[in-house]
Copies of this chain bind each other. A is one copy, B any other.
Amino acid sequence: MTQTTTRRKRASRGSGEQLHAEIVAATKGLLARSANSDAVSIRAVADAVGVTPPSIYLHFADKDALIEAVVSDVFAELDAAMVAAGEAVEHPLEKLRAYGLAYVRFAVEHPEHYRVATMERCPIEGQPGQLDHVLADAAFVHFMATVRGCMDAGIFAQGDPLPITLQLWSAAHGIASLMIAKPFLPWGDIDAVADPVLCAAALGRATADLLGGKPHPQQIIDWLAAQRASAG
């Protein structure tokens, strides 16, 4: 790869951190066009910023630290998109839906960023901080708070919001990652696909709560028959 950018001006004395942000931005840009983070090289990042490879090490300990910074940035962007989408929405169930749609939209519009952030960093060794890290993540906190709001509004049964949050998260993640992985399937409009899936997930959970929490297939079959009968 040849130099794509003109050599940038040297930063003035105390403002070394400026390059930090530029490096993260350039890495995100390259990542968007790559299959995974292995395929983005320090050399390519340096080249995109207009700097030599060793300069990267003035701002990040190693490649892992750089990717970690990118992942943090992506999560912040995702949370911002969700919060913006839920801002004007009142009812917690409507808000949950707005969050979910924003989540799926973000994933589909930034597939490689989403992939790296949620699917790539598989930690073999269980370092203890990562559970707290997820649970403290801004997007997750906002999501779980809204699930609690739905409990208070009588949508879901009262209780620990974590399992329901995970369940609804997995619904959003499932449709998002499938759309990313199989873009050639006849999906159609993003919202038009994601909306029924998300609504069905919430409705399924709420109905399951009506049926006592963990409905078995036979229970579902009987219940559907009764519903149909009473509807005429």
A217 within 8 A of B: yes
| A4-12, A80-88, A207-215 - the one binding chain B | A207-215
A64 within 8 A of B: no
Q: Residue on B with the closest CB to A115?
A: B119
A220 within 8 A of B: yes
A172 within 8 A of B: yes
Within the oligomer, what is the number of copies of this chain? 2
Q: Mark A215-228, 1 if CB is under 8 A from B, else 0.
A: 11110110011011
Tell me if B180 and A173 are in contact (CB < 8 A). Answer: no
- Chain B residues with Cβ below 8 Å from A220 are 93, 155, 199, 202-203, 206
Majority secondary structure, A binding face: helix
Tell me if A178 and B166 are in contact (CB < 8 A). Answer: yes
What is the CA–CA distance of A39 and B122 in the complex, to the nearest angstrom?
14
Additional A-B contacts beyond A94-B218, A131-B185 (13; CB < 8 A): A38-B38, A91-B217, A93-B217, A93-B221, A115-B119, A154-B228, A155-B221, A174-B174, A196-B214, A199-B216, A199-B217, A203-B208, A204-B204
